[in-house]
Amino acid sequence: MNAGMCSSTTIFLVCTFLALLSSVFGLKIDPQKPQNFVILMVDDLGIGDVGCFGNDTIKTPNIDKLASEGVKLEHGLAAAPVCTPSRAAFLTGRYAVRSGMVGWPNDNKVLVRTALTGGLPSEEVTFAKILKQHGYKTAFVGKWHLGMSCNTSKDFCHHPKNHGFSHFYGLPHTNQRECADNFSPELNDFDKMLKTLFTSFVVIFPALIALTRFGMIKVAVVAFLLLSYLFVIYVPEMANIVASNWFDCILMRGKEVVEQPINLGTLTHRLTSDATEFIEKHQDDPFLLFMSFAKVHTALKTSENFVNHSKHGRYGDNVEEMDWAVGKILSKIEELGLFDDTMVYFTSDHGPHLEEVARDGEMCGGFQGIFKGGKGTNWEGGIRVPTIARWPKRIPPGTKTDVPTSSLDFFPTVLKVAGIKVPENRVLDGEDILEVLTGKASDRFQERFIFHYCDAVIQAVTFADNESSKVWKIHYITPQFSPGTEACMQHFLCPCFGEGVNIHDPPLVFDLGSDPGEKSPLDTNTAVIRRLLRKTKSAVERHNLTIQAVPSQLSSRAFLPWMQLCCNPPFCSCKENFPFELIPFD
Burial of 392: CB neighbours in 10 Å, binned 0-12, 13-18, 19+:
middle
Query: Are β-strands 457-465 and 448-454 bridged in parallel, bridged antiparallel, or unpaired?
Result: antiparallel
* Spacing of C-alpha 35 from chain mean position: 24
Residues 6+ apart with CB under 8 A from 245: 178, 179, 180, 183, 261
Rounded CA-CA distance 276/344 in Å is: 14
Question: Computed from CA positions of residues 542, 548, 549, 555, in that sequence, does the dihedral angle turn out positive or negative?
Answer: negative
Among candidate residues 83, 249, 488, 567, the one labeled active-site is 83
User: With helix as H, strand as E and coil as C, how does 31-53 read?
Assistant: CCCCCEEEEEEECCCCHHHCHHH
> Could you tell me which residues come within 8 angstroms of residue 143 by beta carbon, excluding any fewer than 6 positions away?
43, 170, 171, 173, 174, 175, 292, 293, 294, 297
Closest CA to 391 of 138, 77, 90, 69: 69
* Angstrom distance (rounded) from CA 322 to CA 297: 11
Please confirm, yes or no, whether 145 is among the known catalytic residues: yes
Catalytic residue from among 75, 145, 158, 312: 145
- Alpha-carbon distance of 479 to 497, in angstroms, equals 9
Catalytic site includes residue 488? no
Looking at the DSSP bridge assignments, the partners of residue 143 are 171
- Closest of 182, 173, 179, 170 to residue 258, by C-alpha: 170
Q: Would residue 219 be called left, alpha or beta, if left means φ above 0 and alpha means ψ between -120 and 50 degrees?
A: alpha
Q: Which residues, other chains included, contact 566 with Cβ-Cβ below 8 Å and sequence gap of 6+?
A: 153, 247, 257, 260, 572
* Burial letters 518-557, b for 16+ CB under 10 A, else e: beebbebeeebbeebbebbeebbeebeeeeeeeebbbbee
Cα(158)–Cα(177) distance, integer angstroms:
24
* Strand ranges across the sheet with 387-390: 256-259, 251-253, 167-171, 137-143, 287-292, 36-42, 342-348, 387-390, 71-73, 399-401
Is residue 246 within 8 Å of 180, Cβ to Cβ?
no
Which residues are catalytically annotated?
Answer: 83, 145
